[in-house]
């Protein structure tokens, strides 16, 4: 059988598998590459070279750098800053969506949506807007922002990396902004004024089913809370923490259910209740510290770091876990102080969750010291869940007394490292964007510095990489090479050019845009772009048009997937917003039409046919 025929058969088979997802997309891509190698349609050296392609390295590096920003709490800090400074809740909600689009231009759409999800949900509640009318716009805003820069989405980078194989220059860092910014601005206007009218009024409670922990947080000398009332502190409004009691430094009594006008002073110990990530965010942003953690650090320093949390403990070695007290544990019926938990185990208990009682019940019933006393004085019961922080070795040694339920280490945020994380990420973007060095070089160097400076551990860096996407991109780049060299691309594009020639350049651009949007619904955006790109470029060349405007159209179409909830950002809000499939069709179809019209008006003027 002729190589061209074999390539076209494999091409159709890949399309079917990508669309049906009978196999995972990365497995399909590997099977496609394997078939090319077995049938002798591509040389091994050429096939495997794509795994070292600079696009693949850039993608991997950006996944790591995004994780570095998340670990440093940079994105959360942006959201919290907006929340604290905004007065009008409705204006705050719109400002958050605009910020999401801006942040998403430089980071992963999915990560941006995940971080801003609780912030936007909280803003919608304060504005009296059902969550269902805010969460889908959040996901769509992150997708719109991804079209502004070449690193905004992995799809943009994939297209940029594939262009040189067709004799075209890679995308400039801000080249897509000519069409991406107008799409984002007009799309946001659609989300502000049109989408809420199309979305159902369904509210939800994001914290439903999530453990609420009780924690003691001591106000440090440099804390932002000093001199503020509880109302002004934003502990409840911005961080979702309820202050149930306050123990003033130098006194022995606690004030239960303090009012909103209670003024916080240095040394106060606040007994708060909230979700894990909210407690951690409050600790890092507001300058408060767990009493248990404070004492453990002092003990560790005195022992030269032997306790495993401070001193000689490596930042990457510190873990945060949920651990449950089991029957037969030596801790049962004893307080943390009586069991000398810090001294014996070299770990710190940051918070406690007791299933039978929540903080709201405690406050309502005005329970005594035994319920909202300092954690060190609380007698442990079967089923109590402790939030424990310590070195990996110390955590493993807890197995005899506690059963670890889950590792929450990646939820820890350290705002002290935020400036350095921003400097490295911004430096990489600036160096790559200005062309001082290739973007791949800038990104790889930033990752190396991040690991060397312990902003992220090597293990977490590897875990942060979305390997299926890298495998898909590398395999499809190799397939693109075989598609061109075998002559299959010429055969297919010659046929297409005969059919599409009567449409003219505008009709061709519109047709390619529509087909790409259609393909992104059943298959991944990257796969859709890599399938359509060689066809678009070949057809444009056959008809005598400049292929670049069509490549830009494919990129914009593949990056803006709104009609179904299959995009990862949309899947994040699908459950919390209680959406149906038709909700996405109703709102997403209009937004897709908006981006289509904007693209058709701008692309031919910036990149003439």
Q: What is the pLDDT of residues 17-32, one digit of tens each?
A: 877 778 887 898 899 9
Model confidence at 290, pLDDT cuts 50, 70, 90, reads low
d(CA 121, CA 205): 9
What pLDDT, on a 0 to 100 scale, did the predictor assign at position 298?
55
Residue 372 has pLDDT above 90, yes or no: no
DSSP β-bridge partners for residue 348: 389
Q: Are 185 and 177 in contact (CB under 8 A)?
A: no
What pLDDT, on a 0 to 100 scale, did the predictor assign at position 572?
78
Residues 6 or more apart from 418 whose CB is under 8 A from it?
Answer: 72, 73, 74, 77
Residue 429 has pLDDT above 80, yes or no: yes
Q: Look at the block and give the residue holding tokens 């770091």.
A: 305
Mean pLDDT of 481-510: 82
What pLDDT, on a 0 to 100 scale, did the predictor assign at position 403?
80
61-75, 119-133, 360-374: segment of lowest average pLDDT: 360-374
Identify the three-state secondary structure at position 82: helix
Residue 307 has pLDDT above 50, yes or no: no
Q: How far apart are the first and last CA of the chain?
A: 38
The percentage of the chain sitting over the pLDDT mark of 90, rounded to a whole number, equals 19
Q: Are 218 and 290 in contact (CB under 8 A)?
A: yes
Model confidence at 145, pLDDT cuts 50, 70, 90, reads very high
Q: What is the pLDDT of residues 31-53, one digit of tens each?
A: 999 999 999 988 999 889 888 88
Residue 521 has pLDDT above 70, yes or no: yes
Q: Is the dihedral of CA 217, 218, 224, 229 positive or negative?
A: positive
Q: Is the dihedral of CA 528, 531, 537, 542 positive or negative?
A: negative
Between 252 and 108, whose confidence is greater?
Answer: 108
66-75, 172-181, 459-468: segment of lowest average pLDDT: 66-75
Instruction: Pick the most confident of 48-62, 183-197, 370-384.
Output: 183-197
Element (H, E) at 538: helix 525-543
27-31, 87-91, 332-336: segment of lowest average pLDDT: 87-91
Mean pLDDT of 517-546: 85
Residue 77 has pLDDT above 80, yes or no: no
Model confidence at 364, pLDDT cuts 50, 70, 90, reads very low
Between 466 and 234, whose confidence is greater?
Answer: 466
Residue 553 has pLDDT above 80, yes or no: yes
What pLDDT, on a 0 to 100 scale, did the predictor assign at position 302?
52
What pLDDT, on a 0 to 100 scale, did the predictor assign at position 556?
94
d(CA 411, CA 427): 25
Between 63 and 214, whose confidence is greater?
Answer: 63
Identify the three-state secondary structure at position 262: coil
DSSP 160: H
d(CA 257, CA 252): 16
Structural domains of the chain, ranges and CATH numbers in brackets: 315-410 (3.30.70.1450)
Residues 6 or more apart from 114 whose CB is under 8 A from it?
Answer: 572
Query: What is the DSSP secondary-structure string of 379-396?
Result: PP-TT-EEEEEEEHHHHH
Residues 6 or more apart from 5 whose CB is under 8 A from it?
Answer: none
Residue 537 has pLDDT above 50, yes or no: yes
d(CA 196, CA 140): 13
23-32, 245-254, 361-370, 467-476: segment of lowest average pLDDT: 361-370
d(CA 14, CA 559): 20
Q: Look at the block and give the residue holding tokens 């800053």.
A: 81
Residue 532 CA: distances (Å) to CA of 83, 147, 148, 527, 601: 42, 18, 21, 9, 21
Identify the three-state secondary structure at position 489: helix
Mean pLDDT of 330-353: 81
Mean pLDDT of 477-483: 83
Summary mean pLDDT of the chain: 80
Q: Where are the alpha helices (DSSP H) in 486-503?
A: 488-500
What pLDDT, on a 0 to 100 scale, did the predictor assign at position 83?
66
Query: What is the DSSP secondary-structure string of 302-345?
Result: HTTTTTSSSTT--GGGEEEEEEEEPTT-TTTT--TTTTTHHHHH
Residue 502 has pLDDT above 60, yes or no: yes
Model confidence at 398, pLDDT cuts 50, 70, 90, reads confident
Residues 6 or more apart from 593 whose CB is under 8 A from it?
Answer: none
Q: At what angle do helices 581-606 and 548-559 cross, to 10 degrees?
A: 160
Based on its alpha-carbon atoms, the radius of gyration of the chain, rounded to whole angstroms, reads: 27
What are the phi and psi torsion angles at 378 (to 5°)?
-85, 125
Residue 315 has pLDDT above 60, yes or no: no
DSSP 401: T
DSSP β-bridge partners for residue 323: 386, 404
What pLDDT, on a 0 to 100 scale, did the predictor assign at position 87?
62
Residue 309 has pLDDT above 70, yes or no: no
What pLDDT, on a 0 to 100 scale, did the predictor assign at position 606?
94
Q: Are 188 and 100 in contact (CB under 8 A)?
A: no
The tokens describing 374, both together, are 């300092």
Q: How many CB atoms lie within 10 A of CB 423?
A: 12
Mean pLDDT of 533-560: 91
Residue 431 CA: distances (Å) to CA of 11, 118, 151, 470: 38, 33, 13, 23
* ∠ CA 594-599-602, rounded to 5°: 125
Instruction: Pick the most confident of 457-466, 580-589, 592-601.
Output: 592-601
Q: Look at the block and give the residue holding tokens 């890949």.
A: 14
What pLDDT, on a 0 to 100 scale, did the predictor assign at position 182?
96
What pLDDT, on a 0 to 100 scale, did the predictor assign at position 365?
38
DSSP 50: G
The percentage of the chain sitting over the pLDDT mark of 70, rounded to a whole number, equals 84
The tokens describing 18, both together, are 């990508």
Residue 452 has pLDDT above 90, yes or no: yes
What are the phi and psi torsion angles at 248 (to 5°)?
-80, 140
Query: What is the DSSP secondary-structure string of 333-355?
Result: T--TTTTTHHHHH-EEEEEEE-T
Q: How many CB atoms lie within 10 A of CB 290?
A: 23
What pLDDT, on a 0 to 100 scale, did the predictor assign at position 166?
81
Identify the three-state secondary structure at position 525: helix
d(CA 393, CA 343): 15
What pLDDT, on a 0 to 100 scale, did the predictor assign at position 371?
42
Mean pLDDT of 157-180: 90
Residue 472 CA: distances (Å) to CA of 31, 127, 218, 296, 509: 11, 42, 49, 47, 26
208-212, 468-472, 587-591: segment of lowest average pLDDT: 208-212
Q: Are 387 and 350 in contact (CB under 8 A)?
A: yes
Element (H, E) at 194: none
Q: Are 594 and 182 in contact (CB under 8 A)?
A: no
């Amino acid at each position: 059988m002729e190589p061209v025929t074999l390539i076209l058969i494999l091409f159709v088979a890949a399309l079917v598998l990508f669309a049906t997802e009978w196999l995972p997309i990365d497995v399909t891509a590997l099977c496609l590459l394997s078939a090319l190698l077995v049938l002798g349609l591509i040389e091994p050296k050429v096939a495997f070279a794509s795994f070292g392609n600079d696009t693949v390295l850039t993608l991997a590096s950006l996944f790591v750098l995004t994780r570095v920003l998340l670990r440093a709490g940079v994105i959360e800090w942006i959201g919290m800053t907006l929340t604290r400074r905004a007065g009008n809740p409705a204006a705050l909600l719109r400002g958050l969506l605009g910020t999401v689009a801006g942040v998403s231009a430089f980071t992963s759409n999915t990560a941006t949506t995940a971080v801003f999800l609780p912030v936007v949900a909280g803003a919608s509640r304060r504005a009296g807007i059902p969550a269902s009318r805010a969460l889908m716009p959040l996901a769509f805003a992150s997708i719109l922002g991804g079209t502004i820069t070449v690193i905004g989405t992995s799809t943009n980078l994939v297209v940029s990396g594939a262009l040189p194989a067709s004799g075209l220059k890679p995308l400039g860092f801000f080249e897509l902004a000519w069409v991406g910014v107008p799409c984002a601005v007009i799309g946001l206007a659609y989300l502000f004024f049109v989408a809420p009218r199309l979305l159902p009024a369904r509210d939800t409670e994001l914290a439903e089913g999530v453990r609420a922990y009780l924690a003691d947080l001591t106000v440090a000398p440099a804390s932002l809370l000093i001199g503020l009332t509880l109302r002004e502190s934003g502990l409840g409004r911005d961080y979702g923490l309820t202050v149930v009691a306050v123990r003033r430094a130098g006194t022995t009594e606690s004030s239960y259910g303090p009012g909103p006008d209670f003024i916080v002073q240095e040394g106060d110990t606040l007994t708060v209740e909230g979700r894990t990530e909210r407690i951690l965010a409050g600790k890092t942003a507001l300058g408060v510290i767990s009493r248990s953690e404070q004492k453990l650090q002092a003990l560790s320093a005195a022992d030269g770091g032997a306790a495993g949390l401070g001193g000689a403990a490596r930042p990457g070695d510190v873990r945060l876990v949920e651990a449950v007290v089991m029957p037969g544990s030596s801790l049962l019926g004893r307080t943390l102080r009586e069991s000398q938990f810090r001294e014996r185990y070299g770990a710190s208990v940051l918070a406690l969750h007791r299933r039978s009682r929540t903080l709201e019940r405690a406050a309502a019933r005005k329970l005594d010291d035994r319920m909202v006393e300092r954690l060190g004085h609380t007698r442990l019961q079967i089923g109590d869940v402790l939030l424990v922080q310590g070195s990996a070795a110390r955590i493993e040694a807890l197995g005899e007394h506690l059963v670890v339920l889950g590792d929450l280490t990646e939820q820890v945020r350290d705002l002290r490292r935020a400036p350095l994380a921003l400097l490295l990420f911004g430096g990489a973007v600036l160096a790559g964007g200005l062309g001082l060095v290739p973007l791949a070089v800038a990104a790889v160097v930033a990752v190396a510095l991040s690991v060397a400076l312990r902003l992220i551990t090597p293990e977490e860096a590897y875990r942060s990489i979305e390997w299926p996407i890298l495998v898909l991109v590398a395999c499809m780049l190799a397939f693109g090479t075989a598609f061109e060299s075998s002559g299959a691309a010429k055969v297919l594009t010659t046929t297409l050019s005969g059919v599409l020639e009567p449409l003219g350049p505008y009709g061709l651009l519109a047709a390619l845009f529509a087909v790409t949007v259609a393909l992104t619904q059943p298959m991944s955006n990257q796969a859709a772009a890599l399938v359509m790109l060689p066809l678009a470029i070949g057809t444009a060349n056959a008809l005598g048009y400049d292929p670049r405007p069509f490549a830009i159209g494919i990129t914009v179409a593949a990056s803006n997937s709104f009609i179904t909830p299959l995009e990862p950002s949309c899947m994040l809000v699908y459950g919390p917003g209680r959406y149906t499939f038709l909700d996405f069709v109703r709102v997403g179809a209009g937004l897709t039409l908006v981006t289509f019209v904007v693209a058709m008006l701008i692309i031919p003027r910036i990149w003439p046919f």
